[in-house]
């Protein structure tokens, strides 16, 4: 605390220390029961911060013109459209191979291997497949079937930090909040589905959440938006 660490950082460090000492104990090297009794700090209740529908559309439009190279424009548009249209984690999108990536006007479901080697199927909108096809057609690098689809400028696999930088530049150009990250597009996917009447269990399956309680966080976002619109529109809200 004196070093300025947040509660989240302290909790993560304690978790790592406990894991290490459990391993050392099973190996018979050390026995430190005290570390297991150190109380983790109470963490603040986190609510997802999605990008608005307009913000997501603006990001896709801006990505299509921010770079002078057409294939880079197509790549960035395809990546953002995929993240938002399918609710993928950044690691899932960047590990998508050329062979597995959807194509055509009638794409089938996308098989995703998520956290904990848990496989799920995600339906793909035609607009997502079209964006990926356009990127494929313009990409100057050889896209081998078993290699990641998204490539950097020199042809290597697009690194997560590069993808985060792409989103950061779009966020700055559009004046979007700092919470606008690649993962915020996944939050947007879930929140916008829920706001339009999507079933919570279905959204859980689409996101690959092991626990329904994780998906239920999005109801708090939907409820807060509902109250904001209610307070703004109701004739007696100003009284």
Q: Which residues are catalytic?
A: 89, 115, 183, 186, 209, 218
CA atoms of 152 and 215, how far apart (whole Å): 33
Tokens of 142: 């050889």
CA atoms of 200 and 193, how far apart (whole Å): 9
Burial class (CB in 10 A: 0-12, 13-18, 19+), 180: buried
CA atoms of 121 and 207, how far apart (whole Å): 9
Nearest CA-CA partner of 67 in 152, 125, 124: 152
Contact (Cβ atoms closer than 8 angstroms) between residue 155 and residue 141: yes
């Amino acid at each position: 605390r004196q070093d300025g660490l947040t509660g989240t950082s302290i909790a993560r460090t304690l978790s790592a220390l406990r894991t290490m000492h459990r391993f050392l104990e099973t190996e018979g090297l050390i026995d430190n029961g005290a570390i297991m009794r150190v109380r983790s700090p109470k963490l603040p209740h986190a609510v997802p911060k999605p990008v608005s529908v307009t913000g997501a559309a603006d990001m896709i439009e801006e990505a299509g013109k921010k770079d002078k190279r057409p294939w880079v424009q197509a790549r960035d548009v395809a990546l953002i459209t995929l993240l938002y249209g399918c609710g993928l984690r950044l690691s899932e999108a960047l590990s998508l191979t050329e062979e597995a990536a959807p194509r055509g006007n009638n794409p089938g479901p996308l098989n995703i291997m998520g956290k904990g080697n848990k496989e799920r199927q995600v339906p793909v909108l035609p607009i997502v497949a079209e964006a990926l096809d356009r990127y494929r057609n313009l990409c100057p690098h050889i896209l081998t079937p078993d290699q990641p689809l998204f490539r950097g400028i020199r042809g290597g696999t697009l690194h997560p930090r590069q993808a985060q930088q792409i989103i950061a530049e779009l966020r700055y150009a559009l004046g979007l909040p700092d919470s606008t990250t690649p993962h915020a597009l996944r939050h947007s996917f879930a929140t916008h589905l829920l706001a339009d009447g999507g079933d919570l269990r279905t959204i859980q399956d689409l996101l690959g959440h092991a626990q329904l309680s994780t998906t239920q966080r999005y109801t708090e976002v939907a409820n807060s938006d509902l109250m904001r619109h209610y307070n703004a529109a109701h004739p007696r809200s100003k009284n």
